[in-house]
Structure 1
């Protein structure tokens, strides 16, 4: 989908994404097609297997990924008001789902907190650190992150753009998130990144964190 290049000039992560949704862009290839189906399969199985009753997501995007989800209760946050407006319209008849601006979060929690295809879009260190801290502060039992985890991708990918910054986020978690959080699971992408088919493959994998011995 084409965008107005001037309107999408990069100033900050939040500004970029609100402009993108305002200009009728979407959440990206990872939220559509076989990648979205793969993510939904992993997440729906996790929710079922662990009897999760409440899910919170930081970076809900346009809601297309959510349309494949089976969550008893869902709260979505996003920095882009235009994305939130789309979600509220799309799920207007579903009382189990609510949506709020990311800056309005004030300590609300859920059993499972999700971060899907978000971390590598947080190019500013302060934004990244606040986001990561919030993920674990909001989670009662589990945090599931779907993202790249290799800084080398920044130099390896010729398609690198200003709104993408790959990080070794697991190192940050080890250094900054206290016990009892532990990495309890890893699910590799069914469709690993192939630069020849960047819309149907991904450099993101699933990292499953658990609080204590859950």
Structure 2
């Protein structure tokens, strides 16, 4: 873990440089739950392309079944690690968020990221990119409440309010509560994040 916090992006890049991971949510039964829900959604809705904002160390992706995938992250370290890890899989590509050139996908995803965007400007920019990249659906796996925390890299946000105001062209299609709700006595196997699925409203 980084010794001090300055910005969200520097925190995560330093964390990966020091050998850290994307966190417990990308491992064990929480990773399996995310894979189960999203893989089923992709298959059921015949989603052909996926873009993820915050692809991290790629461990979650090892459980994924996506026809085509683009993973974006703020960390050069994480992007390089994923490129090496999946170098023999042509269905997966990776890059820095700052290098994105308007790429879109049928499904745009944010998994365990929103509550790490502690700066307001970073949050608003991230959410805009996330929804601008989606042609059909957006899936956000996050908490949805306003709450500060003692951890400098965690800030809970009522992000659905942002969607209602900023992206009325998307409606909440489904809310799936976490099968393993947060338990302070078992933080590595439980989570305060739920699944929020948004569908783009077709123009009449």
Shorter-chain TM-score: which interval? over 0.9
Q: For residues 86-123 of structure 1, give each alpha carbon's deviation from its aligned partner in whole angstroms, at most 9, with x where no partner exists.
A: 10111010000000001111211000000000000000
Alignment partner of 2:156: what SS?
coil
Correspondence 1:165 to 2:160: no
Query: Number of aligned pairs?
Result: 203
Map 1:194-209; keep pairs closer than 5 Å. Answer: 194-209=183-198
Map 1:24-43; keep pairs closer than 5 Å. Answer: 24-43=19-38
When the two structures are superposed, what TM-score results if normalisation uses the length of structure 1? 0.92
Instruction: Give the deviation of 1:178 after TM superposition.
Output: 2.9
Question: Distance between the aligned counterparts of 2:3 and 2:82, measured in 1?
Answer: 22
Residue number among 174, 177, 202 corresponding to 2:167 in the alignment: 177
Q: Which runs of 5+ in 2 are unaligned?
A: none
Alignment partner of 1:203: what SS?
coil
Ranges of 4+ aligned residues in structure 1 off by more than 2 Å? none
Residue number among 63, 69, 75 corresponding to 1:74 in the alignment: 69
Cα RMSD (Å) = 1.2
Q: Which runs of 5+ in 1 are unaligned?
A: none
When the two structures are superposed, what TM-score results if normalisation uses the length of structure 2? 0.97
Question: Distance between the aligned counterparts of 1:127 and 1:8, measured in 2?
Answer: 22
